[in-house]
Structure formats: structure tokens, C-alpha cells
Amino acid sequence: MEVCPAKNKTEAKLKAINMRPQAPLRAAEHDNWNFFLGLPEVDRRKIKPGTLRQQQLLQPLFEFSGACAGCGETPYIKMVTQLFGDRMVVANATGCSSIYGGNLPTTPYATNKCGRGPTWCNSLFEDNAEFGLGFRVSLDQQKHFAGELLKKLAPQLGDDFVTAILTADQGDEAGIYSQRERVEALKKKLPAINNAESKLLIPLADQLVKKSVWIFGGDGWAYDIGYGGLDHVLASGQNVNVLVMDTEVYSNTGGQMSKSTPRGAIAKFAAGGKPAGKKDLGLIAMSYGNIYVASVAMGAKDEHTLKAFIEAESYPGPSLIIAYSHCIAHGIALDQGIGAKQQKLAVESGQWLLYRYDPRRTERGENPLQLDSTAAKAKVSDFMMSENRFKMLTKSKPEDAKKFMAQSQVEADRRWKFYQFMSQRDTKVENAPVPAPKPTTAVDA
Amino acid sequence: MDLSTKYLGLKLRTPLVISASPLSEDVDNLKRMEDAGASAIVLYSLFEEQLRQDRLELNKNLQQGTDSFAEALTYFPEPDEFRLGPEEYLKHIAAAKKATRIPIIASLNGSSAGGWTEYAKKIQEAGADALELNIYYIPTDMNLSGAAVEDTYINILKAVKSQVTIPVSVKLSPFFSSFANMAKRLDQAGANGLVLFNRFYQPDIELETLEVKPNILLSTPMAMRLPLRWIALLHGRVNASLAATSGIHRASDALKMLMAGADVTMLCSTIIRHGIPQIAMIERDLVDWMEEHEYESVSQLKGSLSQKNCAEPAAFERAQYMKALTGYSLAQA
């Protein structure tokens, strides 16, 4: 139990939930579990998803994944399924997330009582972004076609009804709920019409409800093998959401170096410590100007992660979220539940930055980049020495380790200054173009 | 002004010695300390427990999760060799000797009977001028008697002394039932010096997070009262050299310790707080005071206010609560 903030008043080691040997508890917990499952879910329309306390009440549609104990990736997936799981479509690159995400014949992706849940499929390392883009194009085309059919059926369905469906505001849960009700009503009306258009529309009607397209993968996919395709998809301007679960190493195949691996970390193919620095994927994406980009670390600032997910999803173009994910291949005591602590230290030392780049801000005359990290409170070497992927080098090549730590500190200082400058610079331009439409989901600043 | 003193049989230019701290991990710092006037330096401690912990931790991390998935049987490359022994420390001793001309005193904290002697021998071979045994542990076992704890100290000292020819000092905590007797036993067992006292890092409780946290605080001048008393009591009664450590921040603190009977005064917190040039400042102030008060040498004032030589020997023994407390009056709100 790592993140639970509650502590017992008389025995501080006890929290709200405590780990105990399972066997003697199984019978009693069986009943408790059934009681728990019988509890009603909260009404999504009444929840403010931008507030972590309320958001965490939403039903997760990802459970019992079979990932390593203490995995740093699965909390992000759980959160995203809570937010958008009942209408999301996921293209998942090969890697850890495709293994624990599709441990066939079972799957951790679940459905709610209405039968809605994430639609998930795994593709290859080298084409997953394109695979996800295909979902988007296909869904858009189906929605477009459904809209065309709907217009042709206006005489039978009524103009007001058709207009209500086609112009529905689906910017929040209430809007989506209402649209689902309209589509259900539509599906009930269509069989009675019984013409060519209505027959074609029946299997397409559900596409009139907003779908959220997600592209999942690790750094091996996003920074390396799938990078060309990812870049292509981000540049397409299409409304896809990319979640990079950045463990800074090829985790699933056993810890090979990727271009995300930080300088000085030991990995396979970098047994002497990686000599080059980490690629700044976020900065490359920001250079397009029309991509929503966020760098998050849930263990360091969970509210920030939540905000980034909601903003990314609401942005009507490509979004890229780079999520720091602690990993078994970092050489940390995950069995003692220190993953979140490591994320916090990564951020506090300046080794990992928190930021959000929202192109909608540019259109409002604001600087698009918001640097959400504070200035470093610890040294990068404090962080590095707390993880064996770096510390091991001090035992095999101490001089190199020392050199890498010094270089990493300089890089962290420079990176902080650069991002600070970028976030503070004046970006207002005379005769700026007409502002784009407002975001479809409001997020408290 | 003759500031010279003798410690562990080593002739030192001044009594200002640097005690073990992370500052000595850097050879450049050692040179800077010598340039600022340090007469000898005790290196940071070699912790056997830490070496063992590193080995266990590394092994655990190399093995962690390797039985989980057929696709990944390991998560780290295995270099041909990990240097998990004392090699780095021994190399550091050699580098320190090469970089400076002042005596370099190594510091060792063993955790096994074999560890104390094995590492002590290696430290001598690496070129250390002397060895400080940092016997640092908290006896929490309720079945362990005070006598057994004391015997452990004596046995460690004897074992190490049988293996090395360089002088050996023992850094002690004040927590013995009869400290004077303990000092005498160590003296008789062959300790060349007693370093009084070790400061243990005391845990603290974090009220907001309800966690116990080690709280590392630098010493304040108040910390010197305890070693001052015991140095004054031991001066002239043991053959071993006496080193004062804890709370020596200014020349006046060093003077008091010397007058109580210390052969050297060890500096640490004040240097961490004010920087290495502080050593020169303390030496300058020391000389100024001695000139002003017409002293000729450190040896002249050393022990001049020890229990043996001071006007009121009982002052070092009495608790004097009443007299001390009656000096205060209730603060006005």
C-alpha cells in the first residue's frame, strides 16, 4: 500500500487498506467482494472529473492486469479507462502493455453494467500509431456516413430529432448521456422505417456518440521503432490521443536501451552506462505547434496527470502524453512500494519535467506552454543513486558514473532554464488569426 | 606561536584535525583542507554493513522479476566484474596520501569479526597513517548485557591491534554505565587514542506524515559540554591520546577542549556550515587569543584546566543542579 494517505491513529503502520496473507482471509473477503460489486456506481453526470477525489469514484474498466507487482504503467491506464473507457478505442503497440493488456484468453479491459468498455487491439511495434490513426479515420467516416443517412431519414424521423443528434454538444458526460439516449431512441425507430437508409444506419448509429481514440505504447515503440509512424500520425492533425508509458527502457524484452534511456543508466546494449542523453520527444512534438503535449508523472503530481489526460482528450487534434513509468528494470524496490516515491524524486531533482503544451492557449493569445514543475529541490545524483540502473555503474565503472552524473546535472539545469524561458516568453503576435473554438471540456486551471 | 601537538604518536603542526565526514570523499577537498591549515584528516568511514547491503541489494535487483515472463529472463546486463568490496575506499586512501603531506587517518566501521581485521589490514597496506575504529551500533537486544557490549569493544580493538602496526584510535559513544572504566579498559587493551564522542544520528518523528525519519543535524557548540567533561576527567589518567569531537565551532571552543586536556580538536559541522576556509579562521583566532593572553604554545595550555589541574576538581563531577538553576528567574509573559 503505497499511496494511501490515511494512517491508523494508534498504530501508524496500518493504513485504510493493509496487505495480509491471503489464505485465511479468502472466505470472509469473498462475501465482502460480492457486497462491494453490488454497490451502485456513481452517476457520471454528477461527477466533476477534473477533481481527483471525484474522478477516482468513476468505475475503472481495467482491472487485474497481471503486470509486474508495482508496475508504473497500469495506474495511467486505469485512470484513462475511468475517464473515457465507456467510449474509447485503443490501439496498443507491442510491449508490456500489450502483454498485460491482452493476456489471452483473458483481458483486463472490462465493461460496465451497460456493456460498454474499451475496444482494444494490439498491433506491431512499427505501425501502431498508424493502426490507431486508421481507427480514427474509420470512425470519422462511419460517423459521417451515419450523419448523411440520418439527414436522408429526416422526413421519417422528424427534423428536430435529426438536428438534435447532429448538433449535440458531447463536451461533457451529461451531453454524452443525452446523445446516447437519442441514439437509443433512434435505434428503436429505425426498424419500423425499414428502407435502404435505415437498414444501413442500424449498425452505424452508435458511431453518432463521440468516440475517444487512444494509441498506447512504451518508449521502445514511441521513441524508437514506431517513431517514424508516430511522427507521421501526430503531424496528420487528426484527433488521436497518444499515451507513451515511458519506462526509459525496453521493459518487456528484458531491459534493452531505448532512445528514451537517460544518460548514465545501465541497460542491455549500454552495459557501461548509456553515453547519450535522453531524446526530448515532447519538444519535437511541440515544434509542430498544433499538437497538445504533456509530460506527467502520477506519483509526483496526480492532479496534474488528471488535468493533462482531460485536456488531451478534449483537444480536437493530436495529443501526446508522455507518462513517467517506474519499472522493474530500474532496479528499485518495487516490492516495498516505492514507485511513486521514485517518481516524486525524479521530478524534484529535475530529471523529469512536468509540463503541458496546449495549442488552444496560443489561439487565446497566451503562451501555449505551462511548466508545471517547480525548480529542483534535490540533486539529480540523489535521484540516480536511489535507482540501481544508475547506481550499479558506480560499482563497475565509478569514474564513468561520476562523469555521467555531473553531465546529467548540467543537462537538467539547462533543460529547466530552457523550458522556463519557453513558458515565460511573450508569444503574442500582432494581427493574430481568428481564435479557434473553445475546448469541448472545461478543465479548472 | 608553537601550535604543535602530538596525536596517536604523530607530530601535528596544529591541534586542528578534520573529523570523518562526506567532505573527505573528494580528493580536491582534502587538498583544500590541507591548504587551509588542517593538520591531519580523518577520512569518511568505510562501512562494512554498507558493502554487504550493496551486495545484497545488487543481487536482489539483478534477480528481481526474472522468473516472471518467459520473454525476459533478465533485466540488466551483467558486467564482468562489480567492485563491491573496499577497493574504492582503499584507492581513496592512496589518492589522499598522494595529494597531501599531512597524516591521513582512515576510519572503519565493521559489522563482522572478520570484517574488522580484514579491512584494517588492507587500510594499513593502502598507506593510512593511522586508523580510527568507529564502533557505531545501538545495542537494542534486551538480552545483551552491558558487560557483553563492553567486551565486544575490547575484543574488536584487540583483534585489530594484533593485525596492524599503525596507531589505532577508538571513536566512542558516551553511553556506557561507567565511562571512566571503559576508557581505562580500552587504554589497557592498547588504544592509541580515544575520540570523544561519536554523535549518533537521532531519529525524529514527522508530525504531518506520521513517519519516523532520520534527522541529520549539524552539531552546535552546546554539544561540546559532554566531551569537555570527560576529556577533563581522563586527561593524565590514560596513556591514550584524547581527541575532542562534537560542537567545536570556534577557536574558543578548541581552546576550552585543549585546556580540558584534548590533544587534538576535531572539526566537522563548522566546516560544512561555513566552508573549508573556516579552518584558517579558527587557527588565526586561536593564535590571536593565545598571543593576547601570553601563551607560548599549545603544550603549555594543554590540560591546564583538566580535573587534575583545575582549581575546583569537583566541578567536573558535581551535577550542581540547584546552583545552576537558581541562576534563572521566570520569564515574564
CA dist B293 and A77 (Å) reads 76
Q: Cβ B210–A329 below 8 Å, yes or no?
A: no
Quick check: helix, strand or coil at residue A241? strand
Alpha-carbon distances of A229 from A215, A222, A244, A261, B47, rounded to whole Å: 12, 9, 14, 20, 52
Q: What is the ipTM of this complex?
A: 0.76
Does the CB of B53 have a partner CB in chain A at under 8 Å? Answer: no
**A153: number of Cβ within 10 Å:** 20
Residues of A in Cβ contact (< 8 Å) with B95: none
**Which residues have C-beta within 8 Å of that of residue A180, sequence separation ≥ 6?**
A209
Contact criterion met (CB below 8 Å) for B328 and B256: no
Residues of B in Cβ contact (< 8 Å) with A254: 71-75
Question: Omega into A435 within 30° of 0, i.e. cis?
Answer: no
CA dist A53 and A83 (Å) reads 13
Nearest residue on chain A to B67, judged by CA atoms? A68
Nearest residue on chain B to A14, judged by CA atoms? B210
Q: Cβ A267–B76 below 8 Å, yes or no?
A: yes
* Structural domains present in chain A: 44-134+210-424 (3.40.50.970), 151-208 (no CATH)
Does the CB of A2 have a partner CB in chain B at under 8 Å? Answer: no
Would you call A289 exposed, middle or buried from its count of C-beta atoms within 10 A (0-12, 13-18, 19+)? exposed
Contact criterion met (CB below 8 Å) for B123 and B140: no
Residue A438: the pLDDT is: 45
Q: How close does chain A come to B79, measured CA to CA in Å?
A: 7
Torsion, CA B249, CA B251, CA B255, CA B261, rounded to 10: 40
Q: B5-7 and B40-47 as β-strands: parallel, antiparallel, unpaired?
A: unpaired
| pLDDT in single tens digits along all 333 residues of chain B | 999 999 999 999 999 999 998 899 999 999 999 999 999 999 999 988 888 887 788 888 777 878 777 778 888 887 666 767 788 899 999 999 999 999 999 999 877 778 888 899 999 999 999 999 998 778 899 999 999 999 999 999 999 999 999 999 999 999 999 999 999 999 999 999 999 998 777 788 989 888 888 777 788 888 889 999 999 999 999 999 999 998 899 999 999 999 999 999 999 999 999 999 999 999 999 999 999 999 999 999 999 999 999 888 888 887 655 555 566 677 766
Nearest residue on chain B to A393, judged by CA atoms? B82
Q: Cβ A252–B69 below 8 Å, yes or no?
A: yes
Does the CB of A99 have a partner CB in chain B at under 8 Å? Answer: yes
CA A388 to chain centre: 27
**Which residues have C-beta within 8 Å of that of residue B72, sequence separation ≥ 6?**
A251, A252, A253, A254, A255, B65, B66
Nearest CB to B77; choose among A253, A266, A334: A266
Does the CB of B203 have a partner CB in chain A at under 8 Å? Answer: no
Q: Cβ B82–A388 below 8 Å, yes or no?
A: no
Q: How close does chain A come to B68, measured CA to CA in Å?
A: 8
Nearest CB to B76; choose among A68, A266, A397: A266
Does the CB of B83 have a partner CB in chain A at under 8 Å? Answer: yes
Would you call A225 exposed, middle or buried from its count of C-beta atoms within 10 A (0-12, 13-18, 19+)? buried
Give the end-to-end CA distance of chain B in Å, rounded to a whole number: 50
| pLDDT in single tens digits along all 445 residues of chain A | 677 778 888 888 888 888 889 999 999 999 999 999 999 999 999 999 999 999 999 999 999 998 988 899 999 999 999 999 999 999 999 999 999 999 888 899 999 999 999 999 999 999 999 999 999 999 999 999 999 999 999 999 999 999 999 999 999 999 999 999 999 999 999 999 999 999 999 999 999 999 999 999 999 999 999 999 999 999 999 999 999 999 999 998 889 999 999 999 999 999 899 999 999 999 999 999 999 999 999 999 999 999 999 999 999 999 999 999 999 999 998 877 889 999 999 999 999 999 999 999 998 999 999 999 999 999 999 999 999 999 989 888 889 999 999 999 999 999 999 999 999 998 887 776 655 544 444 344 3
CA dist B90 and B161 (Å) reads 19
Does the CB of A405 have a partner CB in chain B at under 8 Å? Answer: no
Contact criterion met (CB below 8 Å) for B104 and B129: yes
Contact criterion met (CB below 8 Å) for B242 and B196: yes
Residues of A in Cβ contact (< 8 Å) with B76: 255, 266-268, 329, 331, 388-389, 392
Q: Cβ B61–A331 below 8 Å, yes or no?
A: yes
Q: Cβ A395–B84 below 8 Å, yes or no?
A: yes
Alpha-carbon distances of A180 from A54, A190, B196, B315, rounded to whole Å: 23, 15, 79, 90
DSSP label of A351: S
**A184: number of Cβ within 10 Å:** 13
Give the pTM. 0.82
CA dist A12 and A411 (Å) reads 40
Nearest residue on chain A to B207, judged by CA atoms? A12
Contact criterion met (CB below 8 Å) for A294 and A355: yes
Q: How close does chain B come to A125, measured CA to CA in Å?
A: 16
Does the CB of B68 have a partner CB in chain A at under 8 Å? Answer: yes
Q: Is the dihedral of CA A259, A264, A265, A270 positive or negative?
A: positive
* Structural domains present in chain B: 5-326 (3.20.20.70)
Nearest CB to A388; choose among B57, B72, B210: B57
Nearest residue on chain B to A329, judged by CA atoms? B75
